[in-house]
Amino acid sequence: MKNGVILVGAVFTLLITSCGGEKGTGNASSNTTESTTLTKFTIDTMASTLKWKGSKSEEDFHVGSLKFQSGSLSAQGVSNVSGEFIVNMGSLVVEDEKLPSDKKEMLKGHLAAKDYFDVSKFPEVSVKVNGYKDGKLATTISLLGKEMKQDIPVTLTNNGSKTTIIGTFDLDLKSLNIEGLKVNEEKPDETIKSIVSFDLNIVLNNK
């Protein structure tokens, strides 16, 4: 295997094996050296996406996206993975197909206000990666000045120059006590669910 692919495969429990083998002895000493070599990756912010979906019910929901501001990942060994990704909350976009442009902007402003994500005070969300095990990234998400632990199931691919991390997960924001997500006592059907769904697609440049 090419060196970069060997390292990625070792770090992520040999899930990434896209390239063919290279002639050699493949002795244990060589494998040990490769699996403990520190490898660093940087995010391709233009190619990476974070899609979101918030809802009142299965029929009543809104969708959109956020952009990553920066990010990097370091790996050494099978599960010793660490790093941090920064999400730019100011990049929030509403993408409902049937919603007029002015309504999209209105909703965007609503979500950025103090009742929701208070973007002027908290312009960034930090996602720290603390390890990788059983197909999941262990993360600590810092949002609105509070931390949440979240294991994110991911699928990993590698083409030799780039590594892609793809995952779908739900994040329950109830513990954050966001005003706009509290139960509407007068109109319970109008209550927005505290669980937000995300589609993650991170593209990393292999160094």
Question: What pLDDT sits at residue 174?
Answer: 94
- Could you state, in order of their start, the residue ranges of all structural domains in the chain? 38-206
Residue 154 and residue 166 in contact, taking contact as beta carbons nearer than 8 Å: yes
pLDDT range class, residue 35, cuts 50, 70, 90? low
SS3 165: strand
pTM for the model: 0.81
Task: Name the CATH superfamily for 38-206.
Answer: Lipid/polyisoprenoid-binding, YceI-like (2.40.128.110)
Question: What is the DSSP track for 69-85?
Answer: EEEEEEE-SSS-EEEEE
Q: What is the pLDDT of residues 90-137, one digit of tens each?
A: 999 999 999 999 999 999 999 999 999 999 999 999 999 999 989 999
- Give mean pLDDT, residues 179-194: 86
DSSP state of 33: H
